[in-house]
Structure 1
């Protein structure tokens, strides 16, 4: 995975950003937004094509996000289309944009000031700025308009990203001119575009360069020149030909499958088996896509197992090298932040506090590893702090240096699950069966038969998100699930009242909520029941004393209560989120990271069920699949 470099820009007297590496402006001084509208929307037949589009989603792929102007204009036009045609088949817009050299947030803010004379665009600009991601490679999914507009901002090289994308309905072939950026305009670019095209895909590009025309033609596209914008005499448009035996190795078939899948969404049902945060996140993701959802829970209520915690920390566990696992964790963490904030803004009532987190370097080995970590990631994600700085940030006296995650925090997962269930029960396409223990699931000709103690159900799809019970069924018994009992202690101590951020060492301490701090957690792989133990409370307290050199503010702390549950993990410390059998998905194995992983991986499964663009690379999806546990051929 490539390291990311921000674009180096300066601004012209007209306020237009100028890329120093490519010696070129980001857009024409003849009118950036008008150029976008003419070159990319009009020449791709938009917004007219949305009126007759037969699928629920329309997918645009763009090379070169730049200042986001193309997206902003497209978003504005899609909003206007939805206002005028609320019952049109096309309900959601996916915009997948690739950017190798993203602007910094400060430069993006300045660049978008050139559109200050467009008052109707200002709310969209502000929303984009609020969600603009950190400079971390990979896919950043940004959700707008209650899920009606979704941006997948892929930060990385176009040659690495394009093979991971699902078929596009329209392509904005943008970027700096071939003479300025020849590295991008290689033959592989055009063959990769062919591989994500179907018979109805269109392409528009600002350039009329001969090598672009020839590259598109050699990849199988039908190309023509049209009138260019402003002072540009010509530009190119292209369409994918009908699939024939000669080109079907490059082009996808028409979007019939996608159209069929999404048109049938309102008639499908997905049964989710479980009752924790993964189940509720999946139910929300599916319900937002008009899928009928049946949640089956073995307990009387949701969040009675591992999701029962009062306070669960949300932060990525980073490694001293940039690994696939740490990359996934950062993407999941950043998505989880916006996911929980979005649902809180929509009225779900649960406690959420992004108060930051300090991971204290309590051993020389950990301090060395932390010194490596801070060199690999943006300081907005993680930075080094000495003991004095850590003390000032935390609000308690600390003796160790560490690393600080300013975007981290904690969530009450039980409140979230209960609030999500209350919201879902108000929706006509959701039903809930509690106190229902699933005994068996059997594949039939065109659906699944689910057998419980006293009743049976049928379902088109199953998502098994059963936590520590994930491998208890015939379909999933081969998964090498590791269950670990853990206990968290709820503690009061007036001297700790000043704690302002989550503290992590070998365990963790949260700021007080309702007068109690959460301190944990134990790791017990021997027990078979989730009992509460005073010995575990003592172990939690002793661990803090040992790791933090018996801080004065801990003395006299009183344990008031505790909770215990089983975490489910996998040997490689990565979760599973994959289709195990046709129309049967497994979701779990989060270890202690369920709050962080669940939103992104629930989104992934919902997109797979609905045949929508996926927010992870092919390698990441493989690393989340059961296939990774199969023996490799020698």
Structure 2
């Protein structure tokens, strides 16, 4: 992970931002908004295409985010289109943009201040502006508009965008500073990736008409046209992805385009080049397949199932939710769970996944809190440096230049009482955006909300016994678990398995490496001293501020144990752990103050990363990847999967933090949208990863 440097910006006498590095303006001094509309919206024929667009979502990608003016202008246009066409099948706008030198929040606000007609979107952008961390960050605007902002060098970030094998971008905004000022942004590799990611209906537009840009786009596989540029600019380029017809000769194709005064490459050589490019980039052992329809059955009643239901319902799915007992019966039933990230100094996939998940989770819960009520408090989280090893680890994190300053603050021991309300005898890291959530209240409120919108049918006390494929649908054989046991049979086009550690209890999923882990939380009565606690405190365990006059103290961690009975031994273990690391409150940490306890089983993975995506049969992994396991080449085609069978599991002790982004990513996979994860992370969380690792060791 590379440190992100903010842009060096000056504002000229007209208030226009100017890059001092590239000596170029961010938008036209004549009228930046009018230029954006003319070049990118009209150049890509957005409004005309939206009028007849038959799909749920439309995706735009941009090669330079800058001030975000192009994006905000499209937000305005799309919102107006939706207001004028409420019955259009087009419901969602996805916008992907890349920026190596993002503006700091102060310069961004100053640059966008003159555009008051865009303020309702610019204010959301500034409020949710992501951490300055390399890679993808998803920001949502009123649920209908999703921005994927990629920080870092476009040459390293663009190859990390998954194309879903069919292309995802319907319109390209080829922007950035002028080719004469920043030629690296106008490179053949970028044009090639534009073609890789473009859908069959993909268009592009750009303000420049430079000859090498035109030739590069043609070589990549676009039909290129010229038209009058904006204002004083003589010409600009626009066009669309070349539609390859293998029955048409390249000579007749070129002759036809000469008559139309367009420029295009040989379609046959281009098809070969694009196929090679896709094969070199797409991790074929980790396939993704969209859903068959918008009729989806989700198995589970915890945070993973409910977050997935919410994200799919936003995309028009009707959900049948089947849970073995009552809602939030498993690990999601604890009174208070902490929301904060797992950050490692190595800045590996684990840190990247957890950090991006944390950022998105804070946004996610705030969004849903505006729609229904549940108990949450973004009061902040303090992670104590309770040992010499933890002190060294935190010092390394503080010294790491790639971690954003706004992620956490260093709290010295003498400052601890002013931050937390209690004088803990340690230094620590303070995560100001973190806090705690009562997952039960969230889950029940979300289900009630979805029932009111008539998008969810709930079957509680119903256990999935058997799953089989029948006539292109899934047939779910279930048994009720209360009163008189009886067998029920349901059918579904799509099935999402989200039942925690039990996700591997079906024949289709026995090879998924999910491990159970028993954890017990003790609930202690508050007192005058502990009532002053204002932040969630974490060390080897955690301690929450009081809610309903009780503090959550936890938690034990016993791998491969599935007995959820309350244990006095575990209560004592919780008390002893906190007595060791928070010795100033030991008088309160006694068994006489224990009000109650709760034990549940977490679903964990050995690499501490979640598991989401399509499920492959173990037989396919064994046969189709046999050569790969022996050191051979990857197969040319994606390996087989169970059609429309998905999993979201392995969320461990940070499920409240990681689940929202994982659920959003799974919904994007199912809808064939742009996925808010890099290709590296998609690979790192794919259900096939453990089986493939085992195969490489020759043990599967």
* Shorter-chain TM band: over 0.9
Mapping 1:80-479, distance limit 5 Å: 80-115=80-115, 118=116, 120-145=117-142, 147-163=143-159, 164-166=161-163, 167-245=168-246, 246=268, 247-249=270-272, 268-299=294-325, 301-346=326-371, 348-374=372-398, 375=400, 376-453=402-479, 454-479=487-512
Mapping 1:40-119, distance limit 5 Å: 40-115=40-115, 118=116
Q: Distance between the aligned counterparts of 2:379 and 2:547, measured in 1? A: 12
| SS of alignment partner, residue 465 of structure 2 | strand
- Per the alignment, residue 281 of structure 2 pairs with none
The one of 596, 599, 617 equivalent to 1:561 is 596
Count residues with an aligned counterpart: 618
Mapping 1:590-629, distance limit 5 Å: 590-629=651-690
**Deviation of residue 380 (structure 1)?**
0.8
- Contact between 1:222 and 1:240, CA under 8 Å: does it hold in 2? yes
- Per the alignment, residue 254 of structure 2 pairs with none
Going from structure 1 to structure 2, the CA distance change for 1:249 and 1:130 (only over 3 Å counts) comes to farther
- CA offset digits 1:338-376 (Å, max 9, x no partner): 111100011x21111111111111111111111111223
Q: Distance between the aligned counterparts of 2:429 and 2:178, measured in 1? A: 42
**Deviation of residue 122 (structure 1)?**
1.9
| SS of alignment partner, residue 281 of structure 1 | helix
**Deviation of residue 244 (structure 1)?**
3.2
Q: Distance between the aligned counterparts of 1:390 and 1:297, measured in 2? A: 43
- Contact between 2:294 and 2:316, CA under 8 Å: does it hold in 1? no
**Deviation of residue 551 (structure 1)?**
3.5
Going from structure 1 to structure 2, the CA distance change for 1:321 and 1:74 (only over 3 Å counts) comes to same
Q: Does 1:29 align with 2:34?
A: no
- Contact between 1:140 and 1:152, CA under 8 Å: does it hold in 2? yes
- Per the alignment, residue 251 of structure 2 pairs with none
**Deviation of residue 436 (structure 1)?**
0.7
**Deviation of residue 626 (structure 1)?**
2.3
| SS of alignment partner, residue 43 of structure 2 | helix
Q: Distance between the aligned counterparts of 1:480 and 1:215, measured in 2? A: 46
After TM superposition, the structure 1 stretch with the greater mean CA deviation from structure 2, 232-241 or 416-425, is 232-241
**Deviation of residue 200 (structure 1)?**
2.0
- Normalised by the length of structure 2, the TM-score is 0.86
| SS of alignment partner, residue 230 of structure 2 | coil
- CA offset digits 1:109-168 (Å, max 9, x no partner): 1111122xx4x32222212222221212222111112x2111111112222232314321
- Contact between 1:154 and 1:161, CA under 8 Å: does it hold in 2? yes
- Per the alignment, residue 515 of structure 2 pairs with 482
Q: List gaps (5 residues or longer) in structure 2.
A: 247-267, 276-288, 480-486, 616-641
| SS of alignment partner, residue 664 of structure 2 | helix
Q: Distance between the aligned counterparts of 2:432 and 2:238, measured in 1? A: 46
Q: Distance between the aligned counterparts of 2:588 and 2:339, measured in 1? A: 23
Q: Distance between the aligned counterparts of 1:553 and 1:407, measured in 2? A: 31
**Deviation of residue 550 (structure 1)?**
4.3
Q: Distance between the aligned counterparts of 1:63 and 1:341, measured in 2? A: 30
- Per the alignment, residue 556 of structure 2 pairs with 522
- Contact between 2:447 and 2:456, CA under 8 Å: does it hold in 1? no
Q: Does 1:16 align with 2:16?
A: yes
Q: Does 1:505 align with 2:505?
A: no
**Deviation of residue 527 (structure 1)?**
3.9
- CA offset digits 1:288-334 (Å, max 9, x no partner): 111121100111x2101110111100000100111111101111111
| SS of alignment partner, residue 675 of structure 2 | coil
Q: Does 1:582 align with 2:643?
A: yes
**Deviation of residue 14 (structure 1)?**
1.5
Q: Distance between the aligned counterparts of 2:409 and 2:522, measured in 1? A: 29
Q: List gaps (5 residues or longer) in structure 1.
A: 253-260
**Deviation of residue 177 (structure 1)?**
1.2
- Contact between 2:497 and 2:648, CA under 8 Å: does it hold in 1? yes
**Deviation of residue 446 (structure 1)?**
0.9
- CA offset digits 1:570-607 (Å, max 9, x no partner): 11111101100321111111110111111111111111
Going from structure 1 to structure 2, the CA distance change for 1:472 and 1:185 (only over 3 Å counts) comes to same
Q: Distance between the aligned counterparts of 2:681 and 2:245, measured in 1? A: 32
- Contact between 1:371 and 1:384, CA under 8 Å: does it hold in 2? no
- Normalised by the length of structure 1, the TM-score is 0.94
**Deviation of residue 562 (structure 1)?**
1.3
- Contact between 1:358 and 1:390, CA under 8 Å: does it hold in 2? no
Q: Distance between the aligned counterparts of 1:384 and 1:249, measured in 2? A: 54
| SS of alignment partner, residue 248 of structure 1 | helix
CA RMSD of aligned residues (A): 1.8
Q: Distance between the aligned counterparts of 2:602 and 2:80, measured in 1? A: 47
After TM superposition, the structure 1 stretch with the greater mean CA deviation from structure 2, 381-390 or 395-404, is 381-390
